[in-house]
Every structure is written in structure tokens, then in C-alpha cells.
Amino acid sequence: MLHEKRRTFLVLMLFCLTTAFAVAQSFTLQGKVSDKNGNPIEFASVMVPSQGKLAMTNLKGEFKLDLQSSDSVTVRFSMVGYKSKTRTLRRPQGKQTLLIQLSDDNELQEVVVEGKQTQHGTTEELKIDQTKQAPSATGNAVEEMIQTQAGVSTHSELSSQYNVRGGTFDENSVYINNVEVYRPFLVRSGQQEGLSVINADMVERVGFSTGGFEAKYGDKMSSALDITYKRPKRNEGSIALSLLGASGYVGLSGKKITWLNGLRYKTNKLLLGSLDTEGEYDPAFLDYQTYLSWQPNARWQIDFIGNISENHYNFKPQDRETRFGTMENVKSFRVYFDGQEKDIFRTFFGSLSLTNHLTKKTDLSLIASAYSTKEQQRYDIQGQYWLTQTETSENLGVGTYMQHSRDYLKANVQSYKLMLQHRTNQHKIEGAITYKIEKIIENSAEYEYRDSAGYNVPHTGADLNLYYALRAQNRLNANRTEAYLQDTWRFQSKDSIPTLYTLNYGVRFAHWSFNKESIVSPRASLTITPGSNRNLSFRFAAGLYYQAPFYKELRDTTTINGITYAQLNSKIKSQTSIHMLAAMNYRFEMMNRPFKFTAEAYYKALARLIPYSVDNVKVTYYGDNKASGHAMGVDLKLYGEFVPGTDSWLTLSLMNTRMKLNGKSIPLPTDQLYAINLFFTDYFPGSKRWRMSLKLAFADGLPFSAPHKELENNSFRSAAYKRADIGMSYNLFENQDRSKPSIFRNVWLGLDCLNLFGISNVNSYYWITDISGQQYAVPNFLTGRQLNARVLMEF
């Protein structure tokens, strides 16, 4: 009996000692993961490989793990887009707290890669550093990058404008440092377009949304482009030279002040020389921008942005010969010209922002801005033409035409904005009220006279009529009031591995004094990231969006005695679009390289549409709300390291649009059934000094009809747009780590081949009408194959 009690006592003692030893050998590891600026990194992995334990950081960047102690416990912290870190703990016990800071994976190279950050809303962050050295026909790196995204299309390499999911060029809002910016009004062709208002050298962040965007973005129906200029942390600069222009950039950094300066010059004379129309092209586009930021103390910050743009387009055409048709039916269109065109687009833009950091989490900003443009478009061009059937030498049409224009426009827009931002652990609340003063003066006179085989067209037998004539003398003086309030709320479920939610919801209000219209725009989006797979997320968004009318949409026309008069329609209303979209993001690794796949389906119900026609980049509106319709489609994008150490993407867009006008269902003028874009980068094997960039575009053609005809007659569709641009860059001098005694960080030499395959793309037509009324659509081909050499010096 005594022996049995002793044995029981020994077993109990052994159990207690074992339990105590086990408790002593376990410990709790907790902490927080943040970036170099102290911002929490969510979804970061905290892994102990030896114990098979894994945790993910929450919305605050915090984590917690229960682990077994040993002589050493190695913990690995990682997140896509950041450099991994490893910490080794020696005989840990009790509670251990680690504060981990991860640096950008590309910090040393100063290249931040688009798409590596987790997307929580409908705005995707894009980075342009790798596209700056891509082959470019416009020199506008930001817009050319946007044109390669899913849901975005363009049909002219000479233009920086773009269509988004069936919308017009005018349906895309652009912001620079919380200020909405504008484009010139009278531009009618890509040849006239100068430099974009966005200077890529000065950009730090690019946010882009193709639909379902937040309430803080203005009253446009298609997209929102949000640009943030940088405040450099050290002195830097660059000089770029090419056959298509030049640019210089200097960024100065001090303890309390930063100052950016950018000067750009562009001439597309070389490209225009590859067009069918030969002559003296003399385009010259000059742009200067400055961004000054002063922070006298921790509470106050003053920012100033200034922009001066002077764009001239001078052209004296000489002759043109265009062959078109099929292999068995070739027509030749030959023209001899007389006359010239002189256009000027002079723009001034400035903004002044005063920000008070009321607390660490609350900011109050007062932003004043002014935009002024003076535009004139003048041409008198006469052409004598012959349209011939080449197989039989039969003259299909012989005649003369005369085009005349005296278009003058002055516009001034002043804006005053009061904005409040407040952040908490789970909420980011933002609201603002804006007051705008809009003044526009227009004086326009245009006409076109046509003569075919000695007869005036249109021919009545009694009258001498112009083919087309327009007169416009308009004044706009209006005020616009805008306000919005939105909240981004991040929360999670109570599961052991929680599901994360990001809900953005808000409302926007606007009132315009010209048409006495008030509009209210509610918007919301929800992103869900399952706890079971943090690499997978789902997004849903819906909202009521308006296209608030501005000057172009207002111009209603009336024809009297063969002359069309354009007047402003004060009864016009905002176009409406109800956005509904569902999307999925999936991040994965393949061949030990990171990739991201995005799929998005959308439907837009359109009402109170103002019908329009598109000729090159000129959009002409009916000036009245006459139609309704829809746009729907699917956008797919695969982004990742197709080649190790480089970033590429492939996009596919499928779309269907319809518009009901005067009882007839027709496609929208921007209807594009499909579009495929590829941006691909690669290095030569064994050397990263040589880099290749390839851009491919293949997009369905757009509907079209004869000019000055009813839109319902859009019964034709142009040929598909196909283009390939390739560029080679060589890093002649590399000093990124500053190990060499030189002011230069990099010196790059580049050679581009634009339109590699010499494909003749079409984005507009010239129509020939003979005396019998027969019409012929003569294609206006875009640029041919062209080489461009460039040099980039970074210091």
C-alpha cells in the first residue's frame, strides 16, 4: 500500500515537472510590421519555418504567434513588394515583442513596380519608372502607360487622349495634387497635340480607376486619373535628349523645403514626315512646370504648382498620294495643295495649397487654383484632287476643295477648395467643398467648299452652296459648386484567421448656375480578402455617376440657309451612368516569380446621353440630351515578372455598347469589340546593361459614317488598329549605389523603332463626293515606320 502511494506521488511529480517544463519552453511572439515611413503593412507574412507556424498581420500591421522556445528561433517577415527580413531569438521566454520595418524591394534601384501593392479599392496604383524608357511617339509617359491598361483604348499614336469603357475623351477626369486640370478645347487632330499637362519626371504616384471610383473624384462618367507630384528626399535631376524632343528636370531638397523644376520641348516633325501628306511641318511644343513645397514647422505646409505651356503647329501642305482598297480593287487619291495652317495653344495653370496638420490624424487644406487658355486655329487650304481606279486609269472623281477656319477661344477657370481629412485606426474620412468660376469666350467661323468636275457640291442647279459652314459667337459665365463626403472603413471578422473588409462609401453634390441643375451622386465599393487566402481578393462597386456638361456639350446647332449656327443650350442636363462592377485579384508565384491576375466585369446603364461624332480626336456633340444606352464588358490583366527582374503586363478587353437614338439602336461612336495590349521588358542574357521594351496593340476598329451626316448612319467600321513599338536601351554608366566619384547615377543610350512592321493604321477618313452623289471614303493613314535615338542622363 505504501509502495503504491509512493509510485502515485512520483507520477504526479513527474507530470507537474513536465508541464512546468513545457510551459517554460513556450512563449508568445507579438509585434508590428511597418514600412520605412512607419505606415503599417497589412497581410505581411510572419513565419517560423522550423515549427511550421505562420501568421498574417492585420489592418494595423500587428501579429501574434504562440511558439515553442529553443536555443534559437528564426522568424521570417515578408511581403510582396518589400525586402524580406529575418530575426533570430536566443532562448526566448514569456512575451517577446518585435517592431519590424521592411524596406521597398526596389529601394536601391529607385524603381517601384506597379501592381505589387494590394489593391483595396477601385483605384489601382501604377508606377511609371520602367515605362519612362519605353518607345514613345508622344513623349507623354503617363498617358501612354494608361493607354495600355485593361478597359482603355486609343486609335492614334500621335494623341495622348484615351477612351475608357466606351466613353469619350471628355469623360476622363485628371487631378494633380487634388486639383482638377483641363485640356485644350480646339484640338482636332493628334498632330496638333502638344505636351501633356502631366510631367512624368515630377510624378511620385499615379492612381487610376476605370469605373466605380470614389466620391472625391469629379463628375465624369468614365475614369479618374489621380496624379501626385513628389517631394524629393535628396537633390536629383535628369536630362533627356531625342530626335523627338528634349527635357530637363531638377529636384532640390532641404530640411523644410523641396523644389521641382521641369522643362520640356517636343517636336513631332520627324513623325509627321512619314504621313501621306507631304509638306512643311513645323510643330513646336514647349512646357515649363514648377512645384515648390515649404513646411516651416510640423503643423503647416504650403505647396505651389505652376505651369506655362506654349504649343505651336504650323503646316504648309504640298501634295498627297494615298492608295487604298483591296488587292484586286486599288484606288489612288492624289491631291496638290495650296495654303497653310497656323495654330496656337497657350496655357497657364497654377495652384496654391495651404495645409494645417491640426493633429497627427487630421489635416485641413485650402486650395486655390486658376486655369487660363488662349487658343486659335487658323487655316486656308485649297486642294485639287484626282481619284483614280488604278487598274483601268478611270477617273472616279476630279475636283477642288477649299477649307477655311478662324477659330478663337479664351477660357478661364478659377477654383477654391476647402478639404478636411481625418484618420483613425479603421477609418479614413475625407470631405471637401469647391467653388468654381468659369468664363469662356468663343468666336468661330469655318467653311468648306467643294467642286466636283466643274459642279458645286452639293449641286442644286440653281444655287451656289457650301459643303459645310459654321458660325459661333458664344459667351459662358457660370459658377459651379461641388461638395463630397466619403469614408474608407477597414474592418475584419472575428475568426481565428480573419477575413478583411475595406468599404468605401460616399456621396457627391454639385450645382451649376448655367442650367440651374443640382445633382447628387452616391457611390460605394467593397473589397473582401478571405482569411483562408490573403493573395485573393474580391471587389464590388456601384454608384450613380454624372457627366456634368461643360463647354463642348453645350454647343447646340441650328442650320439656316445652309449655314450652321452654334449656340449654348441652357436647358441641357447632365448625362448619367449607373456603374455596377465585380472584380477579382489573385496574386501568385510561378517559376519563383511574382504575378498578379485581375478580372473585372462591368455594366453601365447610360441615360440622358448627348450624342456625338468623332473625327480624329475632335468630338462634336449634338448639344441636347437625345439618347440612352449601355456599355458592358470584361477586362482581364496579367501582370508580373515574365522575365526575372523585369515587369510586364498583358491585357484583354471585351466590350459591347449600344445607344438608342431616334428610335434606332446603334453602337456608340467609341464602340470597340476587343482590345489586346502587351507591355514587355527583357534583359540580354548575362547582362542587365541591355534592356528591351516592347509595346503591342491590337484593337477593333471604330464605327464611322460620312461627316456632317446623322449619327444613325454609322454603318461602317474602320479597320483594326495594329501597332508594334520596340526600344533598346544600354546603361553606358551605372552608379546607382554612388560608389563612383561622379555626379551621374545613370547614363542610358536608346534606339527605338516606332511602328516596327510599318502597318498603315487609319483613324479618320476624307470623303469625296462626285456630281452623281457617289461617296468615297479615303483613309487618312497614321504614321509609318520611324527610328528615334535618345540619351538619358540621371544625376
Q: What does the alpha-carbon distance between residue 64 and residue 134 come to, in Å, rounded to a whole number?
A: 44
Is pLDDT larger for residue 169 or for residue 42? 169
Q: What does the alpha-carbon distance between residue 94 and residue 96 come to, in Å, rounded to a whole number?
A: 7
The three-class DSSP label of residue 148 is coil
* DSSP state string for 55-119: EE--TTSEEEEEEE--SEEEEEEE-TTB--EEEEEES--EEEEEEEEPPBTTTTTT-PPTT-SPP
pLDDT in tens, 389-421: 888 888 877 888 889 999 999 999 999 999 999
Q: What does the alpha-carbon distance between residue 486 and residue 524 come to, in Å, rounded to a whole number?
A: 9
Q: What does the alpha-carbon distance between residue 417 and residue 356 come to, in Å, rounded to a whole number?
A: 14
How far, CA to CA in Å, does 689 sit from each of 41, 682, 692, 747, 772?
33, 11, 10, 11, 63
How far, CA to CA in Å, does 557 sit from each of 471, 498, 575, 662?
10, 60, 19, 17
Could you tell me which of 39, 211, 176, 233 has the C-alpha nearest to residue 117? 39
DSSP character at residue 553: H
Q: What pLDDT shows up at residue 766?
A: 82
Q: What does the alpha-carbon distance between residue 135 and residue 727 come to, in Å, rounded to a whole number?
A: 5
Can you read off the three cell numbers belonging to residue 750?
536608346
Q: What is the widest separation between alpha-carbon atoms in the chain?
A: 137
- Percent of the chain at pLDDT > 90 equals 54
pLDDT in tens, 651-660: 999 999 999 9
Decide the pairing of beta strands 26-34 and 94-101.
Answer: parallel
DSSP character at residue 518: E
Contact 219, 547 (CB under 8 A): yes
DSSP E strands: which ranges in 591-706?
A: 593-609, 612-615, 618-621, 627-640, 648-661, 664-666, 674-683, 690-699, 703-704
The three-class DSSP label of residue 548 is coil
Q: What pLDDT shows up at residue 80?
A: 67
Q: What does the alpha-carbon distance between residue 263 and residue 576 come to, in Å, rounded to a whole number?
A: 39
pLDDT in tens, 494-526: 887 889 999 999 999 999 999 999 999 999 999
359-392: b or e for each residue (b if 16 or more CB lie within 10 Å)? eeeebebebebbbebbbbbebebbbebbbbeeee
Q: What pLDDT shows up at residue 495?
A: 81
268-294: b or e for each residue (b if 16 or more CB lie within 10 Å)? bebbbeebbbebebebbbbbbbbbbbe
Q: What does the alpha-carbon distance between residue 218 and residue 413 come to, in Å, rounded to a whole number?
A: 15
- Among 3-12, 472-481, 649-658, the minimum mean pLDDT is found in 3-12
pLDDT in tens, 237-294: 999 999 999 999 999 999 999 999 999 999 988 888 888 888 888 999 999 999 999 9
* Residues in contact with 37: Cβ distance below 8 Å, sequence separation at least 6, in sequence order: none
Q: What pLDDT shows up at residue 744?
A: 84
Q: What does the alpha-carbon distance between residue 676 and residue 15 come to, in Å, rounded to a whole number?
A: 69
Could you tell me which of 483, 581, 484, 576 has the C-alpha nearest to residue 525? 581
Q: What does the alpha-carbon distance between residue 613 and residue 207 come to, in Å, rounded to a whole number?
A: 29
Phi first, then psi, for residue 719 (nearest 5°) are -65, 155
Q: Give the containing element (helix H, strand E) for 20.
A: helix 2-24
Is pLDDT larger for residue 102 or for residue 705? 102
DSSP character at residue 9: H
- Among 5-19, 112-126, 645-659, 723-737, the minimum mean pLDDT is found in 5-19
Q: What pLDDT shows up at residue 454?
A: 55
Q: What does the alpha-carbon distance between residue 366 and residue 243 come to, in Å, rounded to a whole number?
A: 42
Instruction: Assign 696 a pLDDT band (cuts: 50, 70, 90).
Output: very high
Q: With DSSP H G I counted as helix, E B as strand and the rest as coil, what are the percentages for the chain, rounded to 5?
A: 5, 60, 35
Task: Name beta bridge partners: 226.
Answer: 175, 207
Q: What does the alpha-carbon distance between residue 652 and residue 639 come to, in Å, rounded to a whole number?
A: 12
Q: What pLDDT shows up at residue 620?
A: 87
pLDDT in tens, 336-387: 999 999 999 999 999 999 999 999 899 999 999 999 999 999 999 998 888 8
| Whole-angstrom Cα Rg for the chain | 31
Q: What is the mean pLDDT of the chain?
A: 87
How far, CA to CA in Å, does 729 sit from each of 137, 653, 740, 746, 790?
16, 30, 22, 12, 9
Q: How far is CA 23 from the centre of its chain?
A: 57
Instruction: Assign 774 a pLDDT band (cuts: 50, 70, 90).
Output: confident
Could you tell me which of 232, 228, 222 has the C-alpha nearest to residue 125? 228
Can you read off the three cell numbers belonging to residue 528?
473582401
Checking if the pLDDT of 466 tops 50, the result is yes
How many residues can be counted in the chain? 795
Dihedral over alpha carbons 66, 71, 77, 83 (to 10 degrees) = 180
Mean pLDDT value across residues 94-108: 74
Burial of residue 637 (CB within 10 Å: 0-12, 13-18, 19+) is buried
